[in-house]
Amino acid sequence: MNIDLLTPYNILMDKINALRAEAKETASNILHEGTKSYFAKYGHLVEQIFWIQFTPWFNDGETCEFSVHEPHIVLYSDSDEDKYEEGSRFHTDIEYYETALAEWEQFNANPEAYKDNLEKQNPNYFTRWSHRSSYLPYYESVEDLTRYVEEYKSYPDGFVQDTEALFEFISSIDDEIMEELFGNHVLVRINANDIETEEYSHD
């Protein structure tokens, strides 16, 4: 085979590899600078951001592929012992909680009338979805929902939007680049001072 025929291919691969290296460096720079500025603004609220990334050992007969899981936030105000494994509850949709509270208010005002209205809208509702005697409008209590609304309102301006934007950026980075940056079978933690990785054990 004439080696000269491979020249255009090799040139193209060199360009692809150079662009991937540039993309990796750019992603790393944005991630470092973005999290640095994020913690400068919200470091008094946020202890860390973390996510896991790994290739599963088994996937029910399907190909096991590397993937980056969604990021989580750990808030200083969270006293839950599981926050470093599951993340803190981060409230991003106050309308959901306010709507749920409004439903609870209607229900508590007249529970039987509320259930009658559900049955009127869907005669099979309780036989298909729930027992009438134990029905509640939401699985979350009024107390919890009220606390979520209060916590949301305590966030500084821009906190929710900036956190969602940072999460979106992390999730948008190509998986191969994330593996090159941080490795496989790892938990990645970002705090105000550093980005750390530790081995992650999974099924």
pLDDT for 81-108, tens place per residue? 899 999 998 888 899 999 999 999 999 9
Mean pLDDT, rounded, for 60-78: 93
The answer to whether residue 62 sits within a structural domain is yes
Looking at the fold, whether 60 and 84 belong to one and the same domain comes out as yes
- Token pair for 178: 């994330």
Say whether both 35 and 132 belong to one domain.
Answer: no
Interval 5-28 mean pLDDT: 92
Closest CA relative to residue 108, chosen from 84, 78, 141: 141
Residues 122 and 175 in one domain: no
Q: Are 49 and 122 within one domain?
A: no
In a domain, 27, yes or no: yes
Please check whether residues 140 and 171 belong to one and the same domain. Answer: no
43 phi/psi in degrees, rounded to 5: -60, -20
108-165 pLDDT, tens digit each? 999 999 999 999 999 888 887 788 999 999 999 999 999 999 999 999 999 999 999 9
Q: What pLDDT, on the 0 to 100 scale, is given for residue 1? A: 59
**What range does the domain containing 119 cover?**
94-151
Count of domains in the chain? 2
Q: Domain check: are 105 and 192 in the same one? A: no
- pTM of the complete model beyond 0.75: yes
For residues 125 and 183, state if they share a domain.
no
pLDDT bin (cut points 50, 70, 90) of residue 3 is low
My answer on whether 120 and 165 are in the same domain is no
Judgement on whether residues 60 and 114 belong to the same structural domain of the protein: no
